[in-house]
Structure 1
Amino acid sequence: MNELTPLDGPTVLIDFCDLRFVVDPTFDNAQEYPVGARSLRKTTDSTWRVDQVGPLDAVLLSHDQHVDNLDHGGRELLAQAPLTLTTPLAASRLAGTARGLDPWEALTLGAVTVTAVPAQHGPDGTEHLTGPVTGFVLQARQAPTIYISGDNASLAVVEEIGARFPSIDVAVLFAGAAHTPLVDGSLTLTSTQAAQAIIRLGRPRTLAMHTDGWAHFTENGATLRAAFATAGLGDLLLPTQPGDSVAI
């Protein structure tokens, strides 16, 4: 069975065509993470422990430079994973089983083709502050096509991906309108932008992630559900109760 299991923040377990993937592993409990003179604050404990994930075929890591996408527990998981697919820069820092994929580069694992797709972690011109990020598309014969956005804030990027993959069935969409004092604007999609993104992708079923659990997320799951309802998209949202699986 193909299914998604949302956990916390951006972390999703994907069982797809007899393979198991985990997206952006975060397993720490609530705490403060120093970042230079600032800090990031996780506000909720992890739903699962690392040892509950079970055997994996690959980690799909959007980026390694921000702790809300890869925390201490996530790094523990990476050390056990047979393969981590991520940006080339992250792969160079992580070493081990990490493999970097450039945008539009594809890799075949079993029956699944994994394609790295662009993501823009903030407004135009801020990549030198936020660093590179990747999204992913998963495809297989007679299976739904899955888009995983990563920390993307650009609707133009979404349109480009939709043009390359016109038949996306399921979107794992990161939102939350994340903010930092270093950047004027959101680092991830706002709830309204997330609804617009889904329209531009052809209205796939949507698992909304990266909306709760961190103090720098300025919009939450309730905000997103309201935005989707206003846009007439509420019926596209998949359940997001952490730890509960949903078939796709």
Structure 2
Amino acid sequence: MALRFKNLDGSGPQPFDRVFKWAVADKLAGRRRKSPDRAPVPRVEPDLALLATPPAPGEGARLTWLGHASWLVQLDGVSLLIDPVLRDTISVVIRRNVPPGVPVEKLPPITASLVSHNHYDHLDLPTLKDVGAPIVTGLGHTPVFRGSRLPVTELDWWRSTKVGPVTVHFVPSQHWSRRGLNDVNEMLWGGFIVEGSNARVFHSGDTAYFDGFKEIGRRFPGIDAALLPIGAYDPSWFMSRQHMNPEEAVQAFEDLGATRFLAMHWGTFKLTDEPLDEPPQRLDAEWTRRGWPRERVHVLPVGGTLTVRNG
């Protein structure tokens, strides 16, 4: 059956024989790297009093890491969630390694939830229902939310919508989608540019390294913060078509022309074979190798907050 959506380079999801080799054959044969399911990951108690009121226009964007790819992004009087997954487990059996930065019941009022794609570690329907905010996502996702009473805005790549005074742009990523047995690539995946009065924030969603980062940077110059994934990359022969390693994420940051790098997609769920706490070590080594200013890279603790703005 023809795929509804493909990557910019025309590629689709991994062939079944590669999935079987990684998930079954290599595991049974003991060829996969072994590492613990748990690891210490820094977490701080969030400043709930601060988070209760989003920054006013001209005050920049306040970014709070909730764990994995989940963020609270506040700017211009608006509070947005991106890929909120705040429950203890995903896919029934994968448990959190570290509690969410802010539990659902302590979040400020949310204007909209942005969902990059339909994989369960990014689209958690119970969390989204508990939040109760309208959804902004890629084409084809409306069936997931049928019966939820959540309004859904679907966007194609390079299309935009307004959330109050804030503009949300949906941009390409190098990935794929599947939520059930027969819906491969029927829902569009991507990332987001969130643009306010004096801050522009990029969230990549799930992605491999690809030439699209240069095009995103060209279309949206002056990105103040790039929220980029650094985990879920081992083994590279399989994962590199859908996830970045830390070194590739640093190259993506350079391609984007962004001012600040904020790490995500590590330490929360054990999805692949590398140790949970390895990605920031490799990120630090690559940043050091390049000799770049330390104030431009941020590995926030879960629950940590950073404010960015133009100039």
Distance 1:203 1:47, change over 3 A: closer
Deviation at 1:200, TM superposition (A): 1.1
Which of 40, 52, 55 is residue 106 of structure 2 equivalent to? 52
Matched, 1:94 2:140: no
What does 1:155-194 align with in structure 2 at a 5 Å threshold?
155-178=210-233, 183=238, 185-194=240-249
Residue in 2 aligned with 1:202?
A: 257
Query: Larger Rg: 1 or 2?
Result: 2
What does 1:24-43 align with in structure 2 at a 5 Å threshold?
24-29=83-88, 31=89, 33=91, 40=94, 42-43=96-97
- 8 Å CA contact 1:115–1:138 kept in 2: the answer is yes
Which of 76, 81, 94 is residue 129 of structure 2 equivalent to? 76
Amino acid at match of 1:13: L
Gaps of 5+ in 1: none
Matched, 1:134 2:190: yes
Residue in 1 aligned with 2:63?
A: 4
- The root-mean-square deviation of aligned C-alpha atoms, in Å, is 2.7
- 8 Å CA contact 1:121–1:132 kept in 2: the answer is no
- 8 Å CA contact 1:180–1:216 kept in 2: the answer is no
- 8 Å CA contact 2:206–2:243 kept in 1: the answer is yes
Amino acid at match of 2:123: L
What is the alpha-carbon distance in structure 1 between the residues aligned to residue 209 and residue 186 of structure 2?
Answer: 14
Distance 1:136 1:32, change over 3 A: closer
The residue matched to 1:155 in structure 2 has which SS?
A: coil
Residue in 1 aligned with 2:6?
A: none
Matched, 1:236 2:296: yes
Distance 1:74 1:178, change over 3 A: farther
Distance 1:111 1:93, change over 3 A: same
| C-alpha distance after superposition, 1:134-171 (max 9, x if no partner) | 21111233x12111111111331211211211221211
The residue matched to 2:213 in structure 1 has which SS?
A: helix
Deviation at 1:112, TM superposition (A): 1.2
What is the alpha-carbon distance in structure 2 between the residues aligned to residue 41 and residue 180 of structure 1?
Answer: 21
* Higher strand proportion (structure 1 or 2): 1
- 8 Å CA contact 1:61–1:86 kept in 2: the answer is yes
Distance 1:199 1:165, change over 3 A: same
Residue in 2 aligned with 1:148?
A: 203
Deviation at 1:109, TM superposition (A): 2.2
| C-alpha distance after superposition, 1:101-126 (max 9, x if no partner) | 1101111222211111011127xxxx
Matched, 1:212 2:263: no
Deviates more, 1:184-193 or 1:155-164: 184-193
Size of the alignment, in residue pairs?
235
What is the alpha-carbon distance in structure 1 between the residues aligned to residue 202 and residue 100 of structure 2?
Answer: 24
Amino acid at match of 1:133: W
Q: Normalised by the size of structure 2, how large is the TM-score?
A: 0.68
- 8 Å CA contact 2:208–2:240 kept in 1: the answer is no
Deviates more, 1:69-78 or 1:1-10: 69-78
Kindly, what percent of the aligned residue pairs are identical?
27
Which of structures 1 and 2 has the larger relative contact order (alpha carbons within 8 angstroms, sep 6+)?
2
Amino acid at match of 1:85: V
Which of 201, 224, 238 is residue 283 of structure 2 equivalent to? 224
What is the alpha-carbon distance in structure 1 between the residues aligned to residue 211 and residue 151 of structure 2?
Answer: 32
- 8 Å CA contact 1:26–1:74 kept in 2: the answer is yes
Deviation at 1:211, TM superposition (A): 1.6
Deviates more, 1:203-212 or 1:222-231: 222-231
